Structure 1
Amino acid sequence: MPYNKDDKRRQLLGCLSRRLAYTAPALALAVGGVVALQATAGDAVSQAGKLAMTELSEETFLLASTHAEGGAEAEAEAEGEAEGEAEGEAEGEAEGDVSDVQRPEGYSPAYSEEGDNEAELLARGEELYYDTTLSSNGLSCASCHGSDGNDQGYAATFEQPFPHQVAMAENQFGMAQVHADEMVQICMVAPMAAEPLEWGGDKLTSLAAYMVEVQRRFAGEPHDL
């Protein structure tokens, strides 16, 4: 058979084209999860290379999307837990220990909420009303409720005789109404940030008796101050 240069040339070009087509998918460059594939051999472009690039790109996109969604969900869950803990702590701080401010079982006060308390008891109560050493933050009863008969800082319910409703007692301690000595104790442990006074002791008895007369004065009734 005679040697045909044109046939031999076509065979060599065809072999070269096939080799370039087979090796084109391997020419991939991954940078930061982004896959770029380029393969050229004249006009011959590997369809297999395009398919590999498309499948890999789609898989990479799905993995990245799933990771982002999972991270967002985890972050939202963590924020929700943090908010829940913060709310729980805030609620816990707003609730006081009612045993500190409520009359203990079997307790009998040494003052009268009907009035007619001794003058010495009222004088001692007035002295303590201005005493800042009772608190841990420099406050006295007068700091919130006025001095020299200028009664302030009381709700309208203070016009009612003891026991009556006090907003702080209800909100922080769950007490529907309080006696005068219980109101004194609430002011001691809440605004004044101190320990409750001794039940039946001179300080609590004197302050409670004095507050009975302050309540009457505030309500515009006869009083002994």
Structure 2
Amino acid sequence: MSQHDDKRRKLLGRLNRQLAYTAPLLALVAGGAVLQASAAGDALVADVSSPPGSALMLASNHAEGAAEAQAEAQGEAEAGAEAEAQGEAEGEAEGEAEGEGQAEAEGEAEGGASAKVARPEGYSPAYSETGDNPPEMLARGEALYYDTSLSSNGLACASCHGSDGQDMRYNETFQQPFPHQVAMGTNQFGMSEVHADEMVQICMVAPMAAEPLEWGGEALTSLAAYMVEVQKRVAGEPHDL
């Protein structure tokens, strides 16, 4: 390869790598003249012994390559800006959706917790909260009071509140007739006061880690009736136990 061909190859390689030109200037001198290009302040000089047609072809290719590079760079910039704008919009939409979903989930969690232990709409208890419940109902309630199979963790009502009439771990509010305030109902379920059957359901769901009993079922009715008498006993009032 001649020295002139080698210089021309290097020059073409540099020209093809240019992506933007600040002050393009190309001077072509026919018949072995001088080829000069100014790109971003750099001057390139090479002796060219090729005929004028080759120099004109070089200039044409150089101009086309520069135009294509500039168009490609502009297209990439526009595509990048569009992608960034789209990404920001999608991010905002996802953030709003996530915030709304979280708020809905929190609201459902709070409402769902109390719904499990609060009396359902239209519910009418089959026991009396003032007393005078049938002895057989109280007997079933007392048996369930000691029944660990009601829980998922081996606890029974007696595990926390004593057995054989040794009542314990009741707050002062328990001395008031039902419905009254129960700390666990207020703190964990947002209930200002509870009925006897609601208190049973709270103990089933929280300490005993089980599902609530069937509303109106024999188990819940008997336990609630029994707890009415326990409340009277704790308050020092006459009871049927």
CA deviation string 1:135-193 (max 9, x = no partner): 00000000000000000010000000000000000000000000000000000000000
Gaps of at least 5 residues in structure 1 are 1-87
Paired residue secondary structure (2:127):
coil
Q: 1:124 aligns with which of 132, 140, 160?
A: 140
Paired residue secondary structure (2:186):
helix
Task: Give the counterpart letter for 1:195 in structure 2.
Answer: E
Q: Does 2:210 correspond to 1:194? A: yes
Q: Does 2:175 correspond to 1:175? A: no
Task: Give the counterpart letter for 1:164 in structure 2.
Answer: H
What's 1:208 paired with? 224
Task: Give the counterpart letter for 2:122 in structure 1.
Answer: G
Q: 1:147 aligns with which of 160, 163, 178?
A: 163
**Matches of 1:178 and 1:133 in 2, distance apart?**
24
**Matches of 2:235 and 2:212 in 1, distance apart?**
27
Task: Give the counterpart letter for 2:184 in structure 1.
Answer: M
CA deviation string 1:72-118 (max 9, x = no partner): xxxxxxxxxxxxxxxx9xxx7x9671110000000000000010000
**Matches of 1:98 and 1:223 in 2, distance apart?**
30
Q: 2:116 aligns with which of 89, 100, 110?
A: 100
Gaps of at least 5 residues in structure 2 are 1-101
**Matches of 1:114 and 1:217 in 2, distance apart?**
13
| TM-score, structure 1 normalization | 0.58
What's 2:154 paired with? 138
Matches within 5 A, 1:1-225: 97-225=113-241
**Matches of 1:132 and 1:123 in 2, distance apart?**
16
Task: Give the counterpart letter for 2:161 in structure 1.
Answer: H
Deviation at 1:196, TM superposition (A): 0.3
Deviation at 1:205, TM superposition (A): 0.1
Paired residue secondary structure (2:165):
coil
**Matches of 1:186 and 1:146 in 2, distance apart?**
18
Task: Give the counterpart letter for 1:175 in structure 2.
Answer: M
- Alignment coverage as a number of residue pairs: 134
Deviation at 1:134, TM superposition (A): 0.1
What's 1:10 paired with? none
**Matches of 1:97 and 1:174 in 2, distance apart?**
9
**Matches of 1:151 and 1:97 in 2, distance apart?**
28
What's 1:17 paired with? none
